[in-house]
Amino acid sequence: NAGVTQTPKFRVLKTGQSMTLLCAQDMNHEYMYWYRQDPGMGLRLIHYSVGEGTTAKGEVPDGYNVSRLKKQNFLLGLESAAPSQTSVYFCASSDRANEQFFGPGTRLTVL
Amino acid sequence: EDQVTQSPEALRLQEGESSSLNCSYTVSGLRGLFWYRQDPGKGPEFLFTLYSAGEEKEKERLKATLTKKESFLHITAPKPEDSATYLCAVRGGGYNKLIFGAGTRLAVHP
């Protein structure tokens, strides 16, 4: 039982490049989330999903897109990366309104 | 607007020196207050959920309490392995959205 996994662990992009972060969970959770964590700030919700095929905007959605084609996977895309998107990205999942379980994170640097 | 403030930002303790971390919150209709532990380079690890004022939960050297305006994470006789950042989050109305505080960095020295 791996819980929540994220790939890749680290990535360096140049401004304007695109990339996709993959999150997978094996707990059969309905809800999945993408957060970013910046120094001195709390985790901020980017997008979330309450079920396969559904997505919604969180607190800081601009510059990101998501897809949930399968229940166990939640993808976060950056179409044109900007230095302001340098951050650590965490995926989480939950069984509806219960506690969220987090992945190990992806450290992204945009030059 | 829902908001969570944690204090202090950082705390240094000697091994065995008990203390408390504070989480003050404003939320329209609290539907849960969550404590997480985060080690450097890792994702947050769930510790506790509290739902109503007066509720308490314990796990080893940690005890979380809740009032109508704040929560405390009490650490009794801490050990160096308790060193981590402790995050507090609240859930208000609507979907399962959590509002996180910036965290308290705890360092316990032998």
* pLDDT 10s digits, B26-39: 988 888 999 999 99
**Is residue A97 over pLDDT 80?**
no
Q: What is the mean pLDDT of chain B?
A: 94
Three-state SS across A50-85? CCCCCCEECCCCCCCEEECCCCCEEEEEECCCCHHH
Distance (Å, whole) CA A108 – CA A88: 6
pLDDT tens digits, one per residue of B43-70? 999 999 999 999 999 999 999 999 999 9
| Residue-level pLDDT at A65 | 97
CB contact under 8 A, A97 and B31: yes
Contacts of A94 in chain B (CB under 8 A): 96
Both tokens of B110, joined, read 């032998």
Residues 32-71 of B with CB under 8 A from A: 32, 34, 36, 41-46, 49
Q: What is the residue-averaged pLDDT of chain A?
A: 95
Question: Which pLDDT does position A96 carry in this prediction?
Answer: 77
Tell me how close the Cα of B24 comes to any Cα of chain A, in angstroms: 14
Name the nearest CA neighbour of B90 among B51, B40, B47, B46: B51
Distance of CA A31 to the CA centre of its chain: 12
A5: left (phi over 0), alpha (psi -120 to 50) or beta: beta
